[in-house]
A = this chain, B = another copy of it.
């Protein structure tokens, strides 16, 4: 019954906090941004923000690189994709209609890509 890697445990726990989910949104919109910039979007202190960021990084949801005196932050989608895989495999039977929607979205996306590359 141990079908769930500990990795995802950390990711789920990290995603439990609204501020951390908003942080991921910020990183998606502004890849390579600094700790200070992320902090500026929240009410709490820089230290609190740093703790959230390190929770996210420990969970693999963030990758960071120190450049000079600032740290560049990047979103990493892998753990979320793993969570998604877990759901579609475990709860697959509940997804029929929803997956049909996805199919259309994927094909629309691919059509755009093909037109662009043509």
Contact = CB atoms under 8 A, between A and B. Distances in A.
**Dominant SS among interface residues on chain A:** helix
B88 A105 contact: yes
Nearest to A16: B16
A98 interface: yes
Nearest to A13: B16
Taken together, the copies of this chain in the complex come to 2
A102 B88 contact: yes
A109 B88 CA distance: 12
Nearest to A99: B106
B4 A12 contact: no
Interface of A: 1, 4, 9, 12-13, 15-16, 18, 21-22, 24-25, 28, 75, 77, 80-81, 84, 87-88, 90-91, 93-96, 98-100, 102-103, 105-107, 109-110
